[in-house]
A and B are shown apart, each in its own frame.
Chain A
Amino acid sequence: MDKLIADLKVQIIEQLNLQDTKPEDIGDDQPLFNEGLGLDSIDALELIVLLQQHYKIKLSNAEDGPKVFKSVKTMAEYITEHQPKV
């Protein structure tokens, strides 16, 4: 899980063009939206793209979004649970 969380932080910075942010600036439990990392609705769409591109996971239920994208840790947990088994 730690490796996945570390990878996700790098991928989020790259996908969302957060060039002034370093992976260590993002806390595992830090909220990604609003008062946390300050992401917006377009960033939310880019996170969905990230899940599809890097982990082949399609978010089937849009209502799951706020729960899945609450923090890097919740994203990692969702990926671990839903990533297709090879």
Chain B
Amino acid sequence: MENILPFEDSQKIIFSQKKISIPTDLRPMYKISVILMMLKVNGHSKRLSYLQVQYLNWLVKHIEKVEDLNLKNDELPFEIIRPDPFLDIAIEYCIGEKLIQLTNQGKLELTTKAEVFINKLINEKLLKDEYKVLKNIGSRKVTDDKIKMMIGGN
């Protein structure tokens, strides 16, 4: 008689969880690189506030939409942003790796170690698209007040 199930003769059946594919956005090294890139490109003397980092992260995550927007000189794109919880973890990692230090005013600042790393990255033309978007925004002044005004609506 033919077996009804292909594993009828098996003595043991083992289930194992397959490794899964995750978006690049969740890879720690990616996120760290993007944060450092922001500080390098958009930072005022290589410093950014937490809010600024969240805002810029939102832009990087929606690159294609930013490209579609036809922005006037000093306009900032997006009126709604959502905080990214993974960004917080990545910032913690950066601090742990001594790539970022906190200033007295509570701003995030690029360390020398980080600068060496991020310069190499930019020279190698890695994460080109992200760099382009940040560079493009960099000419506008992304200040805390502006962001607050924009998302606060007043």
Asked if A and B are interacting partners, one says no
